[in-house]
Chains A and B, each alone.
Chain A
């Protein structure tokens, strides 16, 4: 059982829920840029949360399904067509052998996820199928997908068309917009920056630089000023950590970002808001940051993911 990559012009990789347990050796988790859409795609396809899917980013992509199966697509920034019809995202579909699934880029988002019932079956590295581009391992030969690649999927003993044609209602999705307010838990090194800079960060508009990638989103906007030291001795980092290097332009660490770093971290993006930030388009989106508490951030995160669980129950 397989699917074939017919055509790609963007950044298309295989990702599962991420590579866990190796950060102490310097291995980033990788995994999806938008963990909500990733999980929704797997749920709609009837898969466990950690299953490998195809992440489509930045531009158009076309795939051909080689056997009848259930697929699901979730994400933002694409128009989806299957065979000869247009379909909405955030839905599951029963697809016939030979049909093509096309993703055409629109300007309201960045990443979409194509899940195939049973999951993508590439060879796991360090316990995960996620692609880590800089390390050139994981996923499909450690690289972006190219036209002609044939990706193995699992052979399901029974086909289950009854899970097709399900949609995640709009009210169960976070509000993706290109004019976004992102919640941030401040610290642990906010005190490396002047009080004035903290105020600037929390009251100004930022955009995302075109040099951003799966490792980090570089913010463009008013520069922040360090009080004194611009570096600390290296320590652990996380997806969402906001570092401020010596030039004062903050960088948000994303899925492929390093596991450790030596620039002061002014704070970290709330987990529930990471998908919203990930879907912001470089040079177009306008982003503001708002301070929140750990407790509030965790409540929101649980509400978002538990909402998903209720609406699309496990098979």
Chain B
């Protein structure tokens, strides 16, 4: 179903384009298509765009553009955007050591899903995920969607510290903690890959729209 996007203000220096309210690949592709179109044609009037699951947030400078002007600009761009405008996805392979100390919740996830731990690992690593959006901490990819068989709610009480590289799941999403931070997701494994290298030419391992495949490391 195509949902007619709505443009609403978030304060006086950002506007939110709402494409839907569900985690759906098709909706997310429309979000990223608009983000890409704005990025290639953007002038200094637009500070940056933040694509999320089903919305695009556009930050602008109210000393240069009024709300009416940014709204008109977005209406023009939305008329130009084609649904296939999203970039061709990159495929990134992520080696994971499942379970053990860094995957502390693997056992309770298996119990919750009434599966063996091996099944959770197999199901989690079989699917190719899409990076729907990034947020929370620098370089954190929100990926999905998980197979229904391993959907598990987030923890009741978040941990105060989750180490960098920890692979986790929550609801229908999976993610990787790029830096040591608090975290409320279920921890199932660990990857040696560095997701955020502030001094590097390309500081982030992932970008929104990437495809990700987890590879089981013994």
* Contact status A26-B139, CB under 8 Å: yes
CB distance from B35 to the nearest CB of A (A): 8
Contact, CB under 8 Å: A232 / B50: no
Give the chain A neighbours of B169 by CB distance below 8 A: none
Seed contacts A259-B50, A295-B68; 20 additional CB < 8 Å A-B pairs: A20-B48, A25-B138, A25-B203, A26-B136, A26-B178, A185-B11, A187-B8, A233-B54, A234-B52, A234-B53, A236-B50, A238-B13, A259-B135, A268-B11, A270-B12, A271-B11, A271-B12, A297-B12, A298-B62, A302-B62
For the complex, is A235 an interface residue (Cβ under 8 Å from B)?
Answer: yes
B134 close to chain A: CB less than 8 A: yes
With an 8 A cutoff between CB atoms, is A137 at the interface? yes
Contact A24 B12 (CB under 8 A): no
**Quick one: given A234-B53, A236-B50, A298-B62, are A188 and B8 in contact (CB under 8 Å)?**
yes
Select which of B8, B66, B138 is within 8 A of A22 by beta carbon.
Answer: B138
User: Closest CB-CB distance, A127 to chain B, in whole Å?
Assistant: 10
Whether B23 and A271, one on each chain, are in contact in the complex, defined by CB atoms closer than 8 angstroms, is no
A109-161 interface (Cβ within 8 A of B)? 125-126, 134-137
Q: How far is the CB of A128 from chain B (nearest CB, A)?
A: 11
Interface bits A270-297 vs B (CB < 8 Å: 1, else 0): 1100000000000000000000001101
A-B complex: 9 closest residue pairs judged by Cβ atoms: A236-B57, A260-B135, A268-B11, A236-B50, A297-B12, A235-B52, A294-B67, A235-B55, A188-B8
> B134–A25 contact, CB under 8 A?
yes
The answer to whether residues A271 and B135 also contact, given A23-B48, A125-B198, A302-B63 and a CB cut-off of 8 A, is no
- Interfacial residues, chain B to chain A (CB-CB below 8 A): 8-14, 16, 18, 21-23, 35, 47-57, 59, 62-63, 66-68, 133-140, 142, 178-179, 181, 198-199, 203-204, 207-208
Contact partner of B51 among A24, A27, A271, A305, CB < 8 A? A24
- In the complex, residue of chain A having the shortest beta-carbon distance to the beta carbon of B52: A235
Contact of B52 among A136, A236, A294, A295 (CB under 8 A): A236
Which residues from chain A contact B68 at a C-beta distance below 8 Å? 295
Q: Is the interface of B mostly helix, strand, loop or mixed?
A: loop
**Band of interface residues on A:** 35 or more
User: Closest CB-CB distance, A93 to chain B, in whole Å?
Assistant: 29
Say how far B31's CB is from chain A's closest CB, in angstroms. Answer: 10
Q: Is A240's CB under 8 angstroms from B11's CB?
A: yes
What are the residues of chain A within 8 A of B179 when measuring CB–CB? 135-136
Shortest distance between the CB of A216 and any CB in chain B (Å) = 14
User: Which residues of chain B come closer than 8 Å to A302, judged between CB atoms?
Assistant: 62-63
* Beta-carbon nearest neighbor of B16 in chain A: A188
Q: Which residues of A contact B (CB under 8 A)?
A: 20-27, 125-126, 134-137, 185, 187-188, 232-238, 240-241, 258-261, 265, 267-271, 294-295, 297-298, 301-302, 305-306
Q: How far is the CA of A271 from the CA of B68 in the complex (A)?
A: 17
Q: Are A258 and B135 in contact (CB under 8 A)?
A: yes
Find chain B residues with CB under 8 A from A261 CB. 135
The answer for the CA separation of A135 and B203 in the assembled complex, in Å, is: 13
A236 to B11, CA, bound (A): 12
From B22, B133, B178, A260 is in contact (CB under 8 Å) with B133
Contact A241 B50 (CB under 8 A): no
Instruction: Please determine whether A235 and B134 come into contact, CB atoms closer than 8 angstroms.
Output: no
Decide: B22 and A233 in contact? CB cutoff 8 A: yes
Partner of B63, one of A26, A234, A305: A305
Of the residues B22, B57, B137, contact of A238 by C-beta under 8 Å? B57
Smallest beta-carbon distance A42→chain B, Å: 15
A188 to B51, CA, bound (A): 16
Contact of A26 among B10, B47, B135 (CB under 8 A): B135
Q: Which residue of B lies closest to A292 (CB)?
A: B12
Q: Are B14 and A236 neighbours in the complex by a CB distance under 8 Å?
A: yes
